[in-house]
Amino acid sequence: MKEISPKELKSWMDAKEDFQLIDVRERYEYEISNLDGELIPLQYIPEKLDTIDREKKVVLMCRSGARSENAARYLEQHHGFSNLYNLVGGILAWSDQVDGTVAKY
């Protein structure tokens, strides 16, 4: 699994790179703060495999980076994904390093 820093992700967004952003947090967390990614809570990843792109880059994110790392490992080990990036530090790091107006919880 590859990793991406919040600043690298911001540069992808600014450059309008073609990638899929998946947020694996719970809906209530997503409602507190989000980066406009597609919400697929961690426990639903196995049943949503067909919505995860296998061709372009896919960035997985959560609050701190742990759940998204687990999701990436699962997808790589059990379903052969090789295009995944984990957002290091999650939305907390995004708030610290990129946009302090994003709510931390």
Structure tokens of 57?
């880059």
Indicate the residue type of 62.
C
Query: Mean pLDDT across the chain, nearest whole number?
Result: 98
What is the C-alpha separation between 47 and 94, in angstroms, rounded? 28
Structure tokens of 97?
């390093």
Check residue 71 and give its pLDDT. 98
Which three-class secondary structure state does DSSP give residue 28? helix
Residue 60 · residue 85 · CB < 8 Å: yes
pLDDT at 1 over 90: no
Strand partners, 18: none
Check residue 48 and give its pLDDT. 97
| 62 among known catalytic residues | yes
CATH code for the domain defined by 2-97: 3.40.250.10
pLDDT at 96 over 90: yes
- Domain parsing of the chain, residue ranges: 2-97
pLDDT tier at 83 (50, 70, 90 boundaries)?
very high
The residue from 62, 71, 87, 93 that is catalytic is 62
